[in-house]
Structure 1
Amino acid sequence: MLQRRKGRVLSINMIVMDIWWHIHSLMSLRDAAHAACVSRAFLRSWRCYPNLTLDYDTLASETCASEMRNSDKIDCILKNHSGCLKALTLNLNCISISHRHLDSWLCLAVKPGTEDLTLLLPKRKYNFPCSLLSDGVRNSIRYLEIGFWGELECLLSNALSLEQLAFTNCMEITHLKIPCQLACLDITAWQRLQVIENKAPNVSSFCLYGKISKVLLGDTLHMKNVTLGRSNAVCYARAELPFIVPNL
């Protein structure tokens, strides 16, 4: 009888904890961190917080105010996390880091179950460690946003479930081939890119900022939203898009 009661109490406690953790996951990152400082339950929940956005503004806030360098703060947060991240944003444009640090953070944070990954880096090339994209990871990633990148072909070929892709300032790439599983594509400010070749039949949204010499959109039957930011955009849209994207 005592064992049954203990089992029921344990089950109730687990249900209560699940409710608390769900509430905690709905808070903003800053509020969730504040709550973790005053509650043991929320402290445990903080280590499982599903969506982390780590940038200069967040790390310089009162929540994280300390003598630690920003790179050390990121290191501490990710090392103390349980590794169950659903979404991770690392905006490192104003943070001094080494590639060794970034490799380590990605190994800690990108696991099977991670769906959204945003990496905004300083203006230098970075080779993504494609070994991180194990079977579990490449089957879970749905949204990817990257800036200043290398090894792009390796990345795209291993992200099998990718549905949304956004690029910013990828300086080295001249010819971009889009895989066949994407639904949304966003490309901004590419200096050397000359050709975009789309092989994805289900792209419904296409956003392009910058003048590209050649855009091969392929099958556009599902495309309904197009955003262009370029010189002569209106003339280009009127002259070309009715034939290229009939369902726009």
Structure 2
Amino acid sequence: MGLLHLQRLISSQSQQRDRRHRPRRGKINHEPCLQDDEASRADKKMACVDPSLPEDIWHHIHSLLPLQDAACAACVSQAFLRCWIYRPNLTFSPETLNFKNQYNEGDEISADMSTQLVTRIERIVRKHKGILKALKLELLDCPDIDNYDLHSWLFFAFKSQVEELSLWLHSDFTEVYNFPWQLFSEGRGNSIRSLHLSCCALRPVTGLGCLTNISILELYDVCISGEDLGCILSSCPALEELHLMDCSEIICLEIPCLLHQLSHLVVSECENLNVIQSKAPNLCSFVYSGEEAQFSLGDSLENLKIMGSGWDEIVGYARERLPHMVPKLEYLDICSSFERDTPVVPGEFLYLNHLAISFVSWSSGFCPDYDYLSLVSFLDACPALETFELSVSHVHLAKLVNEP
């Protein structure tokens, strides 16, 4: 669709130019007629004339096209070819590289297809010039990519001063592909503002230097120890968001006090994580999903969401611990799968104005003996409460098993 719109726009502009140069009625056109061969050469020349818009605007329009359409547009004129080789964002995946008809999404591609995919990526990388704003390597379905090729593409990204780097690998790479942190040496990684890594290993990471401009760090299914992660965090003074998911080697997460910009933390399903300790002075939002862990989050936290996965009695935990742990909390969202009656304990949420409690069960219903009226003790502890949401739902396992 993007290429079709571009072709229509070019055609419309050509028609406008023709109307402007068309002689008015009632006036004699004194220009000499072109011979057939001259007219043919003129038509070919007109086909290559740049559209009458500034080049930077065409670069922006071209960058909004899907990768395949952008490659096709590069065949139209030299101007579009320049747009292609200076394209600021590249997403490499079997879908964007036109393998849609050769495999079903979610299936692993064959070794032969992997070879073709690598060839296409290499061809694009060799011809690219200029600054690269975003590079996304979405290779979840590609188990046969060589480590050398991955290193080569990452080096290309750093050399092109990439700002957003995203690496999605097949699960086979989780423990065998060690992300080359040496690329960050000598200030080469200072252009990166957003870094997403999945299914790779990060070790060791000593001697990183200062990762000056990284504001978003996302690690999904990454093999990294708590110590190495602490080393990375200490090197990211501009970090604003940290996302950790399925990082099973982390036992203790310590966030240093020098992260003054860190405001948003997400930790999900890190199965061996026992302790989360944040000294970041301006952390205001925390989302947690997983088994029971010890929290030390500081006084600045305002938004908290806890979804228990193997963690029982979260509501009771929140009522007893959170008033003293996060005294300035304004938004609290809790999801629990097993609960006893909510206890009556001292302590108030003086600033809490939104409370959402969800009870979810995977069997016939949620805690049939639970006294929902015991939640009144929670409400009594929230003098500034404006919104209260209560949700109770259950899902039959038999239904999930029988669904296609």
Q: TM-score under structure 2 normalisation? A: 0.49
Residue 77 in structure 1 maps to residue 77 in structure 2:
no
Q: Does 1:216 align with 2:289?
A: no
Native 8 Å contact 2:67 2:97 kept in 1: no
- 2:262 is aligned, of 182, 185, 193, to 182
Q: Percent identity?
A: 40
- Report if the CA contact (8 A) 2:63-2:88 is conserved: yes
Q: 1:132 is matched with which residue?
A: 183
1:227 aligns with 2:305: yes
Q: Secondary structure at the match of 1:120?
A: strand
Deviations 1:173-210 (A, max 9, x none): 22222241422222222222222222222223322222
Equivalence for 2:153: 105
Q: Alignment partner of 1:110: what SS?
A: helix
* Contact map agreement 1:83 1:111 (CA 8 A) in 2: no
**Residues of 1 paired with 2:232 and 2:136: CA distance?**
17
Q: RMSD over aligned Cα, in angstroms?
A: 3.5
Aligned with 2:54: secondary structure?
A: helix
Task: Give the 3 Å change call, closer, same or farther, for CA 213–27 of structure 1 in structure 2.
Answer: same
Distance 2:130 2:318 in 1: 45
> Does 1:155 find its partner at 2:232?
yes
Q: 1:82 to 1:178 in 2, by over 3 A?
A: farther
**What are the ranges of 5 or more consecutive residues in structure 1 without an aligned counterpart?**
1-12
Contact 1:93/1:121 (CA < 8 Å) preserved in 2? Answer: yes
Tell me, in whole angstroms, the C-alpha distance in 1 between the residues paired with 2:163 and 2:319.
37
What is the match of residue 146 of structure 1?
219
Aligned-pair CA distance for 1:39:
4.3
* Matched ranges for 1:158-177 at <5 A: 158-177=235-254
Which structure has greater helix proportion? 1
| Distance in 2 between residues matched to 1:33 and 1:240, nearest whole Å | 57
Change in CA separation of 1:71 and 1:34 when aligned onto 2, cut-off 3 Å: same
1:93–1:120 contact (8 Å) kept in structure 2:
yes
**Closer, same or farther: CA 174–238 of 1 in aligned 2, 3 Å:** same
CA offsets, 1:209-248, max 9 Å, x none? 22252222134x2x33333332347514444444433233
- Decide which structure has the larger Cα Rg and report it: 2
Deviation at 1:112, TM superposition (A): 7.8
Using the alignment, how far apart are the partners of 1:107 and 1:39 within structure 2?
30
TM-score (norm 1): 0.75
Question: Are the structure 2 counterparts of residues 16 and 117 from structure 1 closer, same or farther at C-alpha, using a change threshold of 3 Å?
Answer: same
Q: Per-residue deviation at 1:20?
A: 0.7
Deviation at 1:63, TM superposition (A): 11
Number of equivalenced pairs: 235
> 1:28 Cα deviation (Å)?
4.2
1:247 corresponds, among 299, 309, 329, to: 329
